[in-house]
Structure 1
Amino acid sequence: MKGSPRSDRIRGRIREVIASHLTRNIQDPRLHLVTVTGVELSRDMRIATVFFTTASGPDAQADALKGFESAKGFLKRNAAKDLGLRYMPDLRFRHDDSFDYGARMEKMLKEVLTDDQREDDHGESDDAPEPS
């Protein structure tokens, strides 16, 4: 959903500020190798959902969620200072499944292509006329 220019700007700034604090100020090992991929704001700008990915598997996702919940107050307080907003939205954290979905689709497409190539290779050798 397309928001107003102001909400788009705030979403981008929240993403930048949280990503910056993750790399510079957060020492929690659960949040290493975490990438902030985006932020969605509710219409009233009271809730900011922060999307993230991890370099590891599902266990790392659960650990990262726990790490974010632990660091939520710190992130909100410091983001509010950095952004200069009158009201800082409440932060919620969610794993971004879009990258996993894209990787699964790419894998499926590659499998279909290799299956088609195998069928073409077999089809050509079976249907090809024998040399005389």
Structure 2
Amino acid sequence: MRKNSIKNTRINGEVQRELSRIISREIKDPRIAPMTSVVDAVVTSDLKQCKVYISVLGDQEAKDKTMEGLNSAVGYIRRELAHTVNLRNTPEITFILDDSIEYGVEMSKKIDELQK
């Protein structure tokens, strides 16, 4: 285990919380679905890159529009992150669509159906 892994875990958690807040409360883009959540944020140890895993509840069109809205607002989101999280560098943000929550819900429904 590297010595900065605890620090990196703390940074990832803080960035994830702030991005959730910014996306849900600050951005007024109608393309972004109301049921959009930040599943995870992974900041590289040099603080230059950040992969943000996004979950969107809805159909494929809602997911596409949400990703389009987030990508067009990435500059604003990055500036807001720079104001609230005190880091040496504000990382470049890359949004990645994460279907794991939706997949889990689907599997849970199938298990429930099998049990009946």
- The residue type equivalent to 2:86 in the other structure is G
**Residue 41 of structure 2: aligned partner:** 39
Identity %: 27
For 1:92 and 1:78, how far apart are their aligned partners in 2?
A: 15
Paired residue total:
113
TM-score, normalisation: structure 1: 0.76
Aligned to 2:51, the other structure's residue is in SS state strand
1:97 to partner: Cα distance: 1.3
1:17 to partner: Cα distance: 1.3
Aligned to 1:30, the other structure's residue is in SS state coil
Is the CA contact (8 Å cut-off) linking 2:54 and 2:96 kept in structure 1?
yes
Q: Which runs of 5+ in 1 are unaligned?
A: 115-132
Change (3 A) 1:95 1:57: same
1:22 to partner: Cα distance: 1.9
Structure 1 or 2: more helix by fraction? 1
For 2:67 and 2:90, how far apart are their aligned partners in 1?
A: 20
For 1:48 and 1:9, how far apart are their aligned partners in 2?
A: 14
TM-score, normalisation: structure 2: 0.85
The Cα offsets for residues 26-65 of structure 1, whole Å up to 9 and x where unpaired, read as 1101224112222122344322111122232111111111
Stretches (4+) displaced over 4 A: none
For 1:84 and 1:44, how far apart are their aligned partners in 2?
A: 14
The reply to whether residue 82 of structure 1 matches residue 84 of structure 2 is yes
Relative contact order higher in (CA < 8 Å, ≥ 6 apart): 2
